[in-house]
Structure 1
């Protein structure tokens, strides 16, 4: 809750910024306060979901990103058009986020037993599933959490999430500028196109999580399920974003970008990986490490893409940069061993 309220607070006060330096400080505050949210969500996924439900749990958690971008594109574009002020749009977004944080504090519980809407049989079902999972896990050797970094899957997980965010944050930050400058979209058209593109990502994320859990429940081996789904996602996203560079028709561009986000967001299932590789007690730690990799991309990619566009005067190499990141995502995702927890 404090992270969400802090995130909204820094978003809201950005509306009063009177210089680029003050605006930068509010952006830094927003990023710092936002950072704990996904690791905490990964921890909740481990505590609340059984092994065969964590694909959907991870995509429901991560699906907020494309859904927020989709709805935000409409709402923010409407606010700017009506009030002719980005400051009002910032303030509304920030206050809305703070309200969500207060609701989360009131509603969310750390374990099923603590939630008033969970009955005894549901809590017992989850606890028995966790007990079976714990019985299959390697016995702890007393190592510190840092010992996880001796294992290559942890590094592949962190790098894979970084490459995923390279594409996602690249599109999130530069998509409006690209559609405006290259294809001539005005602010109303931008809002509608952005909604379609990012809502496709939200739908794709739910579809990917549903396929993974259904496949696992029917006996699919973890390595086969996750490597196949991540591989399909990375390949389709890479081919689509690569094709955008060679298409001139605006409708086709929106269709290809929607396809990119639909498959790319299957990788929201990455938030199931910390609970696959680590015990529930340390899933939050691995989730934080993975999120660090994603935030490195979130910080650097907008700068890198801006530099590429400024130097070349076009978005072609920027799109190629995203395609290369998609190939790297494929390599990292297929190198992870999803079949066992790591000993420490």
Structure 2
């Protein structure tokens, strides 16, 4: 897991190379020409969080309705929704789960434009899709996904910006921002704070993670990483949902990990964090700036709010790794888990 985490700056650089950029631009141009009316993502586990990030991008940047499919409606209940005007995107590291493959097969038969985003270009998911993007993360050794997740995020970001451009080509100013990501990721991974923070949570019984907008998928992925490596029960909520009831369970014994960026989503979290502070909860912030009342911060560079999820998750991955080791667990062999999970 440590090796996979360390390879993420290299993974960003690889996706930003001309060959990968051109391949994603070609897919984006086809989608832009087809002009889908809405976008449906289908994914599981960590990839579900990448798909959620892409749904935010799609609605905010493209102005298209977007949502996440429930594969069981098709695979278990036999539903055949009208997807004839949709772009249906399957996001999966392995591309091997039968339910995602079936969703794309049914969608394509209904007339949808289908796209597979995977780290396995020869996978069954790629085989049933009309279009495909290889996130080019390389072999991921650990069961817990890290570098494939951030590669999916970057590939989906490049795809959406290419569609927005119309011809698939990412504008020059956008390319300049993306080009800085490998170095920013390396800087973020060099910070020793996650390992130092692990001792704080060693004996925690449960945790809450939260964020809004682009940060919400990061909060969900943070909870998953903590659960699958340290077996620490972690509940993820959007900042807005946290105020609708779950806030009541926060107290000094329930740590809160909040992803707070510098954009609109981060600004909207201020009221949420004030309420968390009133509850006396142990608050740790992931973000480019401190928050009043926070006990600690996992620092990340300040970037465009769309880019932040690619960096925000990096210290959390390292925290999950360090916490698992501090609790005497083996993060490379989580109990009951396998690299490829097949569901229907």
Question: TM over 0.5, yes or no?
Answer: no
Larger Rg, first or second structure (1 or 2): 1
The structure with higher relative contact order (CA 8 Å, sep 6+) is 1
Larger fraction in strand: 2
**TM-score, length basis structure 2:** 0.31
